[in-house]
Structure 1
Amino acid sequence: MTDTLPDRSAAPATLRWTADQDLSPDMWNMLCGPGGPFERTVEDVLGAPAEVFVQRPPHLPAVLVQAAERHPDAGYCVFDGPEPETLTYGEALSWTAAYAEVLRDEHGIGKGDRVAIASPNRREYLLTLWATLSLGGVIVSLNGWWTPAELAHGIELTGPSLLLGSARPLERLARTEAAGRLPLVPLEELDRAAAAVHDPAARLFPAGIEEDDPAAILFTSGTTSRPKGATLSHRNFVHFGMFGGCGGAVVVINGGGRYRQVPGDVQRTSVCSNPFFHVSGVGPALVTAPMFGSRLVFPARGRWDAERVLALTERYGLTQWHGVPTHFWRMLTHPDFEKYSTGQVAVIGSGGSSFAPELLRLFEEKMPGVQITNGYGMTETTGGGTFLNGPQMDGHPASVGSAAPTMEVQVRGPEGEPLGENEVGEVCIRGAGVFLGYWNDPEATAAALTADRWYLTGDYGRIVDGVLYLESRMRDLIIRGGENIYPIEIEYRLVEHPGVADAAVIGVPDRILGQQVKAFVVPEPGASLTEEEIRGWVGEALAAFKVPAFVEFRDALPYNATGKVIKRELEEESGVS
């Protein structure tokens, strides 16, 4: 296509991606011109105009089918461990067909049925995702770190027909009320049943799947005490892969001899430390890797460990690292960093947190020439929003970049009016990556999506020179190692303790994790509480990453005239700028 897309907004500071500002005319035509892999046009999507890629797969199963046809023997996934498990693209396709046969014939799964899974990342989990999608079903990815009570909420909200799990998440699933009325099947059992019908020559022929059919329900932390189920479509995921590939192609072309390059005969290989219940985990596994023929390496189960990833980098020849700045801090500052081969790593991909200047300097010192890319997005936008590539990282390191391909970004005032440059307001995003809505929650959906499908992020920022700068996250949001935490959920739990009269929770800076959780607790008169007791109380009901790292006991909390806790005062006293 050409740069004649209709101007769909009069906003003076609407961000849209146009590759011609970064590429020569010849390269522009090769990538984005008519018939090019990233040709774009405007179509009606759910009643609103949206920019879409023309040369796109029709749905997710088609992505896997096409990958297996193009490179059946190429490595797809490696699940590391004492006995690493590997899958080629051809093997993934035939095993998906076997899993789908079992889900359909033994469990009655068909179009629209939800299949809930709680498990660490593993081969059986990935194949179950593909099999569910190939039947037209909907994945319900339950947070594997949730407590039984949190799992029960996710199950009640989404109404799955089948529960699947493994390891500790399976044990917690078994302790929910739903386990007594719904089939609960270990993933190992599903795999044994699939092995009995597996045919290496089998192929998938998915039919009846529409682009805007729901594909997955991923849970997001809400401003209330209950997570919401963000519903993502096949179109959302397909565009996740394509706008990532498009932006990456531009970085490679513009990099020239300035950045490290992956030799043409070397398969691009990434480490994926993010769980499948995160969009940053399931997106690369279902779209980015198969769409572009790359390989994913999943670390062995257990807590993320810097030295383990450094060892994987050498063992599997990783060419890309993906994670959050917390991960990179830990690897670059590890005392044994120099022992491992990292010279082949060409790309660092991140999102969700800005790179501190000292982290960028550390990369330049220890891994000169590596390309660093960052972005801003969330589950509701399938991870898409803005994209900060190598050249922009130099000029605008504190920003989160310009609009990702096919996405539009505005900053709006209190009445919803688009603002001009340098004006601070709410960041709003529209595009083919914006979710369908919150499952079974029309009120929350209406509050987050406008009639013309702009997603209201609740984050605040300003646009300067064509890039977005975040001013702050939604007032209370804590981002700890890439995990979104809303204090109200922890506060609700704290005040349920019989010895707690009042409580408030804030985020405090942490060099490695970005932020840590700090709780201010006012004991009931005569109550004797300890930090360990408070942490244990929270940990009984909420996931471990929500447990306060710091607990401060107070006689009272500061309140304003309207009866709200003055968290700014608590933050200032805790050294939060």
Structure 2
Amino acid sequence: MEPQPADPAVDLLTSPGAPFAVVRSESGGLEYADGPRTLREFVETTWAYGDTPFLIAGSGRLTYGEFFAEASALARRFVDVYGLRPGDRAVVAMRNHPEWQIAFWAAQLAGLVAVPLNAWWTAGEFTYALDDCEPGVLLVDGERLERVQPWLEGREGEGRPWTLVFHHDGDLPGDRVERYEDLPAADPALGPPDVDVTPDDDATIIYTSGTTGRPKGAVATHRAHVGAIANPRYFAALSALRRGQIPGQGPAPVALLTFPFFHVAAFTGFYAAMAAGGTLVLLRKWDAVKALQAIREHGITNYGGVPATALQLLEAAEAAGDEMPTLAMFNTGGAAAPPDLVARLTERFGERVEPRNGYGLTETLGGVTANFGAEYRAHPESVGRPAPAVEVRVAGPGGEAVADGEVGELWLRGQSVIRGYWRDEAATAAAFAPDGWFRTGDLATLRDGRVSVVDRIKDMVIRGGENVYCVEVEAVLHDHPDVLDAAVLGVPHPVLGEEVAAVVQVRPGSELDAEAVRAHVAKSLAAFKVPAHVLLRDAPLPRNATGKLLKRELRGPVGEAVRPAPGTPAAPA
């Protein structure tokens, strides 16, 4: 990445001796010079927030003091009763209950490797991951217990891991299974167990979303996680300076966090809240009207969620005439944000609510770039600039950096990048260049230090030798007022190789037709990018729990819809 013009705010935060100064590590990457060394050190500092609310949910609320006492007690149980030792895996599989945080941080206090699993997986998907990571303990809620039970039934005696069940009133299946609510009350005077945790010990295995195949277990060290903690803190401090404020002053944030805890976008959110002594408000499931009620009831200042829920919240607020007066920051992640999102936010709230988006992956433990405030309004197509301990390269076929503004694969190197994939040397070797650069699989451009992601390499459509970036076409489709959601993908063509197809969810009552959709795209994009096939639907498009489009579920129906009848001649190029 080319050196950028001096920015006084950046220099104030990153110069030698500043809070976010970086040094070159022995491995060649950048890392923060100061801060906690492990997740255990980080969470131990939160006890100082005492009676400040940490988590508020329909199932209960926890102060920081209560949270730390319960996490410490559970960590002691892992060591003293379950006989677990540092490096053993602790699976966490539940919806966004406050106890998810207790379970995750208890694993860190005991030196275990936390394995947050997707709460919406089926029994078969759980079986795959459990066989893969071989846990020493399962920490599940009642809903997930049924899905892991077939796997547990295949193990007996000491070969069966301990299972601790949260929010479950039914019978417990077999030996080595306990109910969390039956455990003794936590003694806040005891603290966590005495175990040794080092920066290069593994802290988590987080499975990728598996949108294109079997999930892989991304393994991250404590060193990587404390880098991931520093990244959002840096962006928050830089944002404050650019708004003429002193970082860290003023009331702590109250955030509505709608990402599922098992996803790294949520890690960015709860790490930022914990570092500032902020409060997280949780919803049992997404509901835009209930989100508005929560914002009013709790005085929420920060919103965090996928673009789809963000748009629904804005629509609900417009319909209710709700100005959300306490809201100060509107953050989207987990999936690409339509460029018109920031325009809609600005049109309604002016500059009172700061927009923010960014870029991150499971393999980077959350956001490593951010675009916010005036710069986001000026460059809504960008995911922003990297954090100090993150290096960016847009690489050509041979790994060389391409010219500014040219499309290439986005490569990343830095402290928060994982060390590799769990027990998968081939996948690790394929993902990392020899000098430590991680190949993201995303196509991007770099202009004046700002990153713009244009597509996944596997999603790009090549029509008659011309590259069509699906994200670009989707952004134009989202600009139409009657389009609620859109997905663009390639379909086979006998002459051109591929053609562009679009699946569009239309607003109820709309009279939008396929030709009108094509005409709308043609106003903004070259003819070869205009979808040759448009499928309109009323139902929502398939997305995973973190908001990513599941295009594999659309390819079959789209292929059937556009398949020519037998004997139909091939269309000309």
TM-score, L = length of structure 1:
0.76
Deviation at 1:190, TM superposition (A): 4.6
Q: Is 2:453 aligned against 1:459?
A: no
Match of 1:230 among 203, 213, 218: 218
**Which deviates more, 468-477 or 446-455?**
468-477
Q: What residue number does 2:33 align with?
A: 54
User: For residue 226 of structure 1, what is the amino acid of its counterpart?
Assistant: R
In the alignment, the residues of structure 2 paired with residue 15 and residue 351 of structure 1 have an alpha-carbon distance, to the nearest angstrom, of 26
Q: Is 2:343 aligned against 1:361?
A: yes
Are the equivalent residues in 2 in contact too, given 1:173–1:179 (CA < 8 A)?
no
Deviation at 1:320, TM superposition (A): 0.4
Q: What residue number does 1:296 align with?
A: 280
Match of 2:557 among 539, 543, 551: 551
Q: Deviations over 1:112-169 (max 9, x none)?
A: 0001122111122211111111111011111111111111111111111122211322
Q: Is 2:508 aligned against 1:508?
A: no
By relative contact order (CA 8 Å, sep 6+), the higher-ranking structure is 1
User: For residue 290 of structure 1, what is the amino acid of its counterpart?
Assistant: M
Q: Secondary structure at the match of 2:8?
A: coil
Match of 2:81 among 99, 106, 129: 106
Deviation at 1:335, TM superposition (A): 6.3
Q: Deviations over 1:24-77 (max 9, x none)?
A: 5xx844x33444322222222xxx2222222210111211211213x2222211
In the alignment, the residues of structure 2 paired with residue 443 and residue 411 of structure 1 have an alpha-carbon distance, to the nearest angstrom, of 23
Q: Secondary structure at the match of 1:333?
A: helix
Q: What residue number does 1:332 align with?
A: 314
Q: Is 2:6 aligned against 1:21?
A: yes
Are the equivalent residues in 1 in contact too, given 2:237–2:248 (CA < 8 A)?
no
Count of residues paired in the alignment: 483
Q: Deviations over 1:295-348 (max 9, x none)?
A: 11111x23x111111111111111000112111110111266545451111111
Q: Is 2:150 aligned against 1:175?
A: yes
Are the equivalent residues in 1 in contact too, given 2:22–2:388 (CA < 8 A)?
no
Q: 1:207-218, aligned counterparts within 5 Å?
A: 207-218=195-206
Q: Is 2:181 aligned against 1:192?
A: yes
In the alignment, the residues of structure 1 paired with residue 217 and residue 506 of structure 2 have an alpha-carbon distance, to the nearest angstrom, of 31
Match of 2:239 among 236, 245, 251: 251
**Structure 1 residues 118 and 247, CA gap change in structure 2 (3 angstroms):** same
Q: Deviations over 1:68-102 (max 9, x none)?
A: 13x22222111x22xx5222222211111111122
In the alignment, the residues of structure 2 paired with residue 211 and residue 509 of structure 1 have an alpha-carbon distance, to the nearest angstrom, of 47
TM-score, L = length of structure 2:
0.76
Q: What residue number does 1:7 align with?
A: none
Q: Secondary structure at the match of 2:366?
A: coil
In the alignment, the residues of structure 2 paired with residue 341 and residue 396 of structure 1 have an alpha-carbon distance, to the nearest angstrom, of 25
Q: Secondary structure at the match of 2:114?
A: strand
Q: What residue number does 1:161 align with?
A: 136
Match of 1:134 among 87, 90, 109: 109
Are the equivalent residues in 1 in contact too, given 2:202–2:220 (CA < 8 A)?
yes
In the alignment, the residues of structure 1 paired with residue 262 and residue 370 of structure 2 have an alpha-carbon distance, to the nearest angstrom, of 22
In the alignment, the residues of structure 1 paired with residue 421 and residue 504 of structure 2 have an alpha-carbon distance, to the nearest angstrom, of 31
Q: Deviations over 1:435-491 (max 9, x none)?
A: 01111111101100122211001111121222122221132399999xxx9x9xxxx
**Structure 1 residues 389 and 22, CA gap change in structure 2 (3 angstroms):** farther
Q: 1:469-488, aligned counterparts within 5 Å?
A: 469-476=452-459
**Structure 1 residues 206 and 364, CA gap change in structure 2 (3 angstroms):** farther
Q: Secondary structure at the match of 1:175?
A: helix
Q: Is 2:332 aligned against 1:350?
A: yes
In the alignment, the residues of structure 1 paired with residue 549 and residue 450 of structure 2 have an alpha-carbon distance, to the nearest angstrom, of 32
Match of 1:77 among 25, 46, 55: 55
Q: What residue number does 2:65 align with?
A: 90
In the alignment, the residues of structure 1 paired with residue 438 and residue 505 of structure 2 have an alpha-carbon distance, to the nearest angstrom, of 30
In the alignment, the residues of structure 2 paired with residue 474 and residue 510 of structure 1 have an alpha-carbon distance, to the nearest angstrom, of 24
Structure 1: gaps (5+ residues)? 1-13, 488-504, 513-534, 559-568, 571-577
Q: What residue number does 2:535 align with?
A: none
Are the equivalent residues in 2 in contact too, given 1:15–1:402 (CA < 8 A)?
no
**Structure 1 residues 506 and 139, CA gap change in structure 2 (3 angstroms):** farther
**Structure 1 residues 354 and 282, CA gap change in structure 2 (3 angstroms):** closer
Are the equivalent residues in 1 in contact too, given 2:342–2:377 (CA < 8 A)?
no
Match of 2:404 among 403, 418, 421: 421
In the alignment, the residues of structure 1 paired with residue 139 and residue 287 of structure 2 have an alpha-carbon distance, to the nearest angstrom, of 27
**Structure 1 residues 371 and 42, CA gap change in structure 2 (3 angstroms):** same
In the alignment, the residues of structure 1 paired with residue 411 and residue 16 of structure 2 have an alpha-carbon distance, to the nearest angstrom, of 30
Deviation at 1:356, TM superposition (A): 2.9
Q: Is 2:350 aligned against 1:375?
A: no
Q: 1:422-437, aligned counterparts within 5 Å?
A: 422-437=405-420
Are the equivalent residues in 2 in contact too, given 1:38–1:54 (CA < 8 A)?
yes
In the alignment, the residues of structure 2 paired with residue 385 and residue 15 of structure 1 have an alpha-carbon distance, to the nearest angstrom, of 17
**Structure 1 residues 414 and 35, CA gap change in structure 2 (3 angstroms):** closer
Are the equivalent residues in 2 in contact too, given 1:152–1:178 (CA < 8 A)?
no
User: For residue 329 of structure 1, what is the amino acid of its counterpart?
Assistant: L
User: For residue 128 of structure 1, what is the amino acid of its counterpart?
Assistant: A
Q: Is 2:263 aligned against 1:278?
A: yes
Are the equivalent residues in 2 in contact too, given 1:262–1:344 (CA < 8 A)?
no
Are the equivalent residues in 1 in contact too, given 2:218–2:418 (CA < 8 A)?
yes
In the alignment, the residues of structure 2 paired with residue 360 and residue 124 of structure 1 have an alpha-carbon distance, to the nearest angstrom, of 34
**Structure 1 residues 435 and 554, CA gap change in structure 2 (3 angstroms):** same
Q: Secondary structure at the match of 1:322?
A: strand
Q: Secondary structure at the match of 2:130?
A: helix
Q: Secondary structure at the match of 2:439?
A: strand
Deviation at 1:384, TM superposition (A): 3.3
Q: Secondary structure at the match of 1:296?
A: strand
Q: What residue number does 2:464 align with?
A: none
Q: What residue number does 1:152 align with?
A: 127
Deviation at 1:283, TM superposition (A): 4.0
In the alignment, the residues of structure 2 paired with residue 180 and residue 325 of structure 1 have an alpha-carbon distance, to the nearest angstrom, of 42
Q: Is 2:42 aligned against 1:63?
A: yes
Deviation at 1:267, TM superposition (A): 2.5
Deviation at 1:291, TM superposition (A): 1.4
In the alignment, the residues of structure 1 paired with residue 343 and residue 454 of structure 2 have an alpha-carbon distance, to the nearest angstrom, of 23
Q: What residue number does 2:175 align with?
A: none
Q: Secondary structure at the match of 1:472?
A: strand
User: For residue 91 of structure 2, what is the amino acid of its counterpart?
Assistant: A
In the alignment, the residues of structure 1 paired with residue 369 and residue 395 of structure 2 have an alpha-carbon distance, to the nearest angstrom, of 16
Q: Is 2:257 aligned against 1:266?
A: no
Q: Secondary structure at the match of 1:176?
A: helix
Q: Deviations over 1:508-555 (max 9, x none)?
A: 35589xxxxxxxxxxxxxxxxxxxxxx9xx99xxx9985947835739
User: For residue 467 of structure 1, what is the amino acid of its counterpart?
Assistant: R
Deviation at 1:266, TM superposition (A): 2.9
**Structure 1 residues 395 and 554, CA gap change in structure 2 (3 angstroms):** closer
Structure 2: gaps (5+ residues)? 168-177, 461-469, 479-486, 490-499, 508-538, 565-569
Deviation at 1:352, TM superposition (A): 3.9
